[in-house]
Structure 1
Amino acid sequence: MRIRAVLFDADGVIQVPTVDWRATLRTFLRPDQSAEEFVLDLMTSERPSLTGKGDFREATAEVLRRWEVSTPVAEVLALWEQFAAVPEAIDVVQELRAAGIPCHLATNQQAYRREIMNDRRNYGQWFDRSFYSCDLGVAKPDPAYFKAIVTAIDLPPSSVLFVDDTAPNIDGAREAGLYAEQFDLSSGVPVLRGLLHGYGLPVATDDPEQRQQG
């Protein structure tokens, strides 16, 4: 086995929310309304835009009308901007790239959030290539998402490692023939380093045993 490229998910792997957005969404509702159902409605309305079908802004506006929410659409959409990349995780990506291992962003996003990540915050500078589901027209966990990426980077699936925080996405990647590992930032970046080191990838690790194996 030789890993020749690594795909990194975004949310939960290299970036985290900076607000409790679910709690904030609850404040937009009347006391007699179900916050859980409201959040589910928003998430359901977002799905088409994750594959580039429909406008997320318009879908959100429709949900707010349906729930009789008076909060401006722009204020609700601002919650999707409340996230930050974790420097320690980005450092890992840069170590791999400096050692000659291409690293690519592989994330489910609608165009509104893609614009924030790619255009406003220049995420592309941290990766060799960025693959947003809204551009590919297919989203994780569909194996076709991963097949589209390996075709674009011109590598066999068996030479690519995918890291994501969600089990169904891991299953989809493995079905497409990639190596895949589940990781969540809540477990700490040293765990990510250990995971990558276990595949023989050139990253520093704080584990003395792993250093000896390397």
Structure 2
Amino acid sequence: MAIEAVIFDIGNVLIEWQPERFYDAEIGEERRRALFETVDLHGMNDRVDRGHDFKETIYAEAEANPDFRDEVRLWHDRWIEMAKPAIDHSVHLLRALRAEGVPVFALSNFGIGSFAYAETKYDFLTEFDRRYISGHMGVIKPDPVIYAMVEEDCGIAPDRLLFADDRADNIAAAEARGWKGHLFDGPRGWADRLVAEGLLTAEQAK
């Protein structure tokens, strides 16, 4: 079946998302390890991605962990420093697909407030044909519900969707519904997959 739409995850596909790297640089690896062992920061972030208020959720977690209060608040106050830089080759592929008339969607675990902030820094986030942002949907990957919501909204058969994500569990959930999946481990491999699917030429995918 020919692909009718290409779906990009955002974190670690279009924008690097490495909170641990940020904290290592900011407070040192030893303190960072203690922080992440004590505070479930990724669980906190999942709540934001499900639609909870960006600042309130993080600040409440900070108050619940006074020994790491200042460090937890950084997740909000300096969030954009964790979500950088853009992965330029992936951005090029997004734009190359759109130039060829291929519908391109985003499907990302992302909070409402954090995504609005990211839009002010990364113009390509406004360039998708459709955007499926978990905070607005109230559910996160890899819950099957979020994939069903995408299918219902776009009206495209699952086997005509090609989805790139950096997490194997997210890809497995999509493939279980019949989507074509690509486990993203760098833009070169993603470019090769788009060429193999006949969506771009090798020259366009450079």
Alignment-derived partner of residue 92 in structure 1: 93
- Trace 1:1-214 onto structure 2 (pairs within 5 A): 1-17=1-17, 20-24=21-25, 26=27, 34-38=34-38, 40-52=39-51, 54-68=52-66, 69-71=68-70, 75-82=74-81, 83-185=84-186, 189-204=187-202
Q: Give, in whole Å, the separation in 2 of the partners of 1:51 and 1:76.
A: 16
Aligned residues: 201
Cα pair 2:142 2:169 within 8 Å, conserved: yes
TM-score by length of 2: 0.84
Amino acid at match of 2:86: A
Structure with the higher fraction of residues in helix conformation = 2
Q: Give, in whole Å, the separation in 2 of the partners of 1:205 and 1:191.
A: 14
Structure (1 or 2) with the larger CA radius of gyration: 1
Q: Give, in whole Å, the separation in 1 of the partners of 2:142 and 2:18.
A: 25
Amino acid at match of 1:93: L
Gaps of 5+ in 1: 208-214
* Superposed displacement of residue 55, structure 1: 1.9
RMSD between aligned alpha carbons? 2.8
Amino acid at match of 1:79: R
- Change over 3 Å in CA distance of 1:62–1:192 after alignment to 2: same
Sequence identity (%): 25
Amino acid at match of 2:5: A
* Superposed displacement of residue 25, structure 1: 6.6
Cα pair 1:190 1:205 within 8 Å, conserved: no
TM-score by length of 1: 0.81
Amino acid at match of 1:118: E
Q: Give, in whole Å, the separation in 2 of the partners of 1:182 and 1:146.
A: 16
